[in-house]
Chain A
Amino acid sequence: MKQNLRHEVGGNIDRSQPIRFRFDGRDYTGFAGDTLASALLANGVRVTGRSFKYHRPRGLMAAGFEEANTIVQLGSGSRTVPNLRATQIELSEGLDAKAVNCWPNARFDIFSLFRLFKPFWPAGFYYKTFMAPNWKIWEPAIRHGAGLGVSPRSADPDVYEKQHASVDVIVVGAGPSGLAAAIAAGESGATVMLLDDKPELGGSCLYELGAIEGDPAIVWKERQLKVLATMANVKILTRTTAFGYYDHNHLLANELLPGNGKDSRQRLWKIRGRQIILATGALERPMVFPNNDRPGVMLAGAALQYLHRFGVLTGKRVIIATNNDSAYEVAVELRRAGVDVALIADTRDVGYSSVATRVRSMGVEVASRTTPTDTIGTNGLCKVELHQVDAEGRALPGTARLLAADTLLVSGGWNPTVHLFSQSGGSLRFDDGQKAFVPDRYVQSGVLVGAAAGIDKRDAAVATAREAGANAGGKNISKPAASSSVNVGQTFWSVDVTTLGRNSAKAWVDLASDSTESDLRLAARENFISVELFKRYTTTGMMTDQGKTSNVNAIGILGSVLAKKPGDVGTTRFRPPFNPITFGSIAGRNVDNFYRPLRRLSAHESHVALGAKMEDYGAWLRPAYYPQAGEAEVATLRREVLAVRERGGLLDYSPLGKILVSGPDAAKFLQRVYVNNVQTLKVGQCRYGLMLGEDGIVKDDGVLTRWSDESFVVGTTSGMADRIVDWLEEWLQCEWLDLDVTVESVSTQWATMMVAGPKSRELLQRLGSDIDLSSEALPHMWAREGSIAGVPLRIARVSFTGELGFEVSVPWSHGRSLWDALVSIGKEFGMIPFGLESLLLMRVEKGFLHVGSDTDGLTQPQDVGFAAVIEKKKEDFIGRRSTMTPDARRLDRRQLVGLEPVDGRTFLPLGAHIVGEDFKAPPVLSQGWVTSSVQSPTLGRPVAMGLVERGLERMGQQVQIYDGGKLIAARITRNAFYDPEGERLRT
């Protein structure tokens, strides 16, 4: 297809390098240097997207960040990227893009039938419609229709990276002001980073060709670039968009890297700058009038960009509508390029002003106090209707003109790009001269310069930027005051067509979220007049546009309804990201195995060789169980449990938290940490204990071992190991500075193997060591140190299975040898390796507490059988006072008890609630719930534990357990189901 809107000359494109691409299933050709948008425009593609709600045909309306209509899905397969703006995509050979939110394409979109429903989708439609009881009907339809593009279905094969930097000065934006600031900062000797989103530097120098400091902009720009090239202390990043300005001058930027698919695809920069100079320019405002969204209606400044950056004409016959001087420059440039500029409609009375006189001399008609009131055309603009207006924006009946045009360029004034400044915490004020929000109070160290500060005269902008750059090494940079030259004569924010007997239902304010002038007025009438609520209720400024083109118009319209000035209406705070970034960029290299590194046991390879099913338990990869070929999980667990109970088994228990607490005050410290009495613990003795938070809630449990007068090892659950170390440190460093205690995690210094079962002593005796394992020398809950084959060895006689048991520890590097030896010798005794799932099953048979399963955020020690322990202890301990409050003494607290089905057969579902005898149907107050439940292989019946109101008092009573409509009769019992007197572990 021919590029029939490509100008013969001009633009930074290479006409000798044609590039083929595909859009919405059709093939086109552009040139090297094009964006997807400029190439589409050159090819005369008018409908480039469909609107979000009503699927109205839309065309390109801007040339940069602010494009709200042309949102595309780029590429296909695992590298596809949704929701990119065509104006930000550099054209490349074979590029394939598709408009989002339409089917089969933007030219013909089946969903455009939604347009028929327009009257039913007013502001707040979602809030008014999608609510109970019909939510179930709406939800699937909304979920189906929600969103724009689609995310890739398979993993992204590309690599993304992150880089940190720290410099004296960051300059964001490499337009005239940015270049001047960067050079001045560089000359002062500061380290500088200059960021720009485009592939080439220059900003508005590339399309506003007028003079800067006496030279044509292009010449001026080239001179600055030559100076920059000599500065080793200035780092320049192109294709890099600063999108977030966080506390303490932390700036985040995303760099697009060429060479897609071979090297890294994008790089996320995290930069600290002592000063941040924002030279982010300004964004043009659209004008609000009926059918202002028709393809062919475009921002005036965008036309200038397409002409001079890409040599593309936006149309053959153009009408310009404006309220300020800047659009006259566009008229001059288009006229010079041979475009028929039919009319400039200005809302002001321009009379014989210099700008008007100039364009008239080029044969362009200028109409004062005139503005568009409608546009006509099916899939693109054909005609524009205009009316004269008064100062309040009321269209005057009888003044209509209907003119043919394929393009309507609009300029409703300029908004300084203050998004990053707003993110930094800075506040804005409404400047009545330029009818725009400009920077007011700064919170962080930095400054806005140039058009971003509301200074649109380029020489003045460059001068203030240069001053800011030169002083950036200093502590305080003076903040330049806003000053405008384009004479924005805005007296109204939307044309009032009610004088013509029409409404503004199709006068768009936010093209991205499809909200109209009448939507905003409705919201204001419904009293959504706080600007933050107004924004959310109407969804204005909430989609891809993020308020770039819509916010100020919306605030102006709200103000006109409320008879307030925009500055009194206020602004919403802009949030990051300024420009969308990919999840890939955020994730960087923290994907797959690097997302959350798993910790491996010292004997990992041996477990795998034994056929263990390895699973992730709180960052540790541990054997869940060891299935034989073709064996189901239930059968494996049964086999493992019965083997341990009859003969014995071996389990790698290394992830258990082990914290060395030592020093002269260690015992005194632990006395304050544990619910239990620690000071009576003898050297070599172990004690099972609980720790509480200050709120009295059970925090963790474990076995404490005293190795000497001043040295203890605190055992914790594996999941809490790190947190308990931190917690102990906090008490020592922040509260009890007088205690001489050292805390050190030794969890991965010792590999620990659990040897459990009736034959475990025999196995360990066969293993051989210098530790006497007889019941007299090593009773239950005692530990001994020794050595085996010259290697330090610790054996603690403790049990979590209910059988005779030992925990055998050696230095981590010897863990695998110990495990292999135990497995090998264990065979002689019929002892087998067993996994964590079997252990957890046995602990329920035994009724041992599992913190986090059998306790929740309300469980205190007296609820789990520790009332007597507390009673006997005199001293204060962490959380003790909280166990004495009226709430803690309530008689109807939930207490941990055993639960058994009355019929001896029915499994009690985990989490099922206990309900009263008078239960008929939910909802009723719960009396507690099942916290642990297993089908016991040892007992041959289901057993469970639960937190039950007044559980201890109701021992032996029958209760009802509710399970999805059924009631199960259960009995409250002691929670030790197996060997309740503990004879087996004392043998």
Chain B
Amino acid sequence: MLLIKCPFCGPRDETEFRCGGQSHITRPGPHDVVADAEWGAYLYTRENPKGWHFERWLHAGGCRQWFNMARHTVTHEIRQIYAIGEPAPTIGEGS
């Protein structure tokens, strides 16, 4: 079970959180100018890296705040936690 450092509450067990999937996805719009393919990609195309993944999490059983996380999908190392709206950090290769 991951130990996640909520930026507001400190380190807590993963069971208190909910993963919202890949972060930094821009919502295309408005509806009448978006192409089918662009909309389809926004809905369904996601990264599935073996390595660093930038995803958003909700402290559902705590402060109910969303935040971003850089997590390694093999080792589950959490390298960085940063605010929604901030750009994804640059992380070197390896874990």
Where the two chains meet, the residues of A that have a C-beta atom closer than 8 Å to any C-beta of B are 246-250, 272, 425, 443-444, 694-695, 726, 729-730, 733-735, 737, 875-876, 880-882, 884-886
Pick from B1, B28, B30: contact of A250, CB below 8 A.
B1
Pick from B13, B27, B64: contact of A735, CB below 8 A.
B27
Q: Assess the A884–B31 pair: CB atoms within 8 A.
A: yes
Given A730-B66, A734-B20, A876-B30, residue A248 in contact with residue B76 (CB < 8 A): yes
Q: B88 near A: Cβ within 8 Å?
A: no
Q: Assess the A885–B36 pair: CB atoms within 8 A.
A: yes
User: Please, how many angstroms separate the alpha-carbon atoms of A899 and B56 in the complex?
Assistant: 45
| Minimum C-beta distance from A936 to chain B (A) | 40
Q: B19 near A: Cβ within 8 Å?
A: no
Extra 13 A-B pairs, beta carbons < 8 Å, given A250-B13, A425-B74, A729-B64: A246-B1, A248-B3, A250-B3, A272-B3, A726-B60, A726-B64, A729-B58, A730-B66, A733-B84, A734-B84, A880-B31, A885-B39, A885-B40
Residues of B within 8 A of A248 (CB): 1-3, 76
User: Please, how many angstroms separate the alpha-carbon atoms of A443 and B14 in the complex?
Assistant: 19
Where the two chains meet, the residues of B that have a C-beta atom closer than 8 Å to any C-beta of A are 1-3, 13-14, 20, 23, 27-32, 34, 36, 39-40, 42-43, 56, 58, 60, 64-66, 74-76, 84-85
Q: Assess the A733–B66 pair: CB atoms within 8 A.
A: yes
| Minimum C-beta distance from B10 to chain A (A) | 12
Q: Assess the B84–A247 pair: CB atoms within 8 A.
A: no
How many inter-chain residue pairs (CB < 8 Å) link A and B?
60
User: Please, how many angstroms separate the alpha-carbon atoms of A737 and B27 in the complex?
Assistant: 13
| Minimum C-beta distance from A6 to chain B (A) | 46
Q: Assess the A737–B84 pair: CB atoms within 8 A.
A: yes
Q: Assess the A882–B2 pair: CB atoms within 8 A.
A: no
Residues of A within 8 A of B14 (CB): 247
23 chain-A/chain-B pairs, Cβ below 8 angstroms: A246-B1, A247-B14, A247-B76, A248-B2, A249-B3, A250-B1, A250-B3, A272-B3, A444-B75, A694-B42, A695-B43, A726-B60, A730-B20, A730-B66, A733-B66, A734-B20, A734-B84, A876-B31, A876-B32, A882-B39, A885-B39, A885-B40, A886-B36
Given A247-B2, A248-B3, residue A882 in contact with residue B60 (CB < 8 A): no
Residues of B within 8 A of A875 (CB): 30
Residues of B within 8 A of A884 (CB): 31
User: Please, how many angstroms separate the alpha-carbon atoms of A880 and B23 in the complex?
Assistant: 22
Q: Assess the A737–B85 pair: CB atoms within 8 A.
A: yes
User: Closest A-chain residue to B28, C-beta based?
Assistant: A881
**Which interface residue of B43, B60, B84 has the most chain A CB atoms within 10 A?**
B43
Residues of B within 8 A of A694 (CB): 42-43
Residues of A within 8 A of B20 (CB): 730, 734
Q: Nearest 8 CB-CB pairs, A to B?
A: A876-B30, A881-B31, A248-B3, A733-B66, A880-B31, A876-B31, A250-B1, A247-B76
Given A730-B58, A733-B65, A876-B29, residue A881 in contact with residue B84 (CB < 8 A): no
| Minimum C-beta distance from B69 to chain A (A) | 13
User: Please, how many angstroms separate the alpha-carbon atoms of A730 and B85 in the complex?
Assistant: 13
Q: Assess the B39–A881 pair: CB atoms within 8 A.
A: yes
Residues of A within 8 A of B66 (CB): 729-730, 733-734
User: Closest A-chain residue to B72, C-beta based?
Assistant: A443
User: Closest B-chain residue to A272, C-beta based?
Assistant: B3
User: Please, how many angstroms separate the alpha-carbon atoms of A515 and B91 in the complex?
Assistant: 49
User: Closest A-chain residue to B3, C-beta based?
Assistant: A248
**Which interface residue of A272, A881, A886 has the most chain B CB atoms within 10 A?**
A881
User: Please, how many angstroms separate the alpha-carbon atoms of A875 and B2 in the complex?
Assistant: 41
User: Please, how many angstroms separate the alpha-carbon atoms of A734 and B69 in the complex?
Assistant: 13
Q: Assess the A247–B85 pair: CB atoms within 8 A.
A: no
Residues of B within 8 A of A247 (CB): 1-2, 14, 76
User: Please, how many angstroms separate the alpha-carbon atoms of A246 and B14 in the complex?
Assistant: 12
User: Please, how many angstroms separate the alpha-carbon atoms of A641 and B84 in the complex?
Assistant: 51
User: Closest A-chain residue to B34, C-beta based?
Assistant: A881
Residues of A within 8 A of B85 (CB): 737
User: Please, how many angstroms separate the alpha-carbon atoms of A733 and B66 in the complex?
Assistant: 7
| Minimum C-beta distance from A244 to chain B (A) | 10
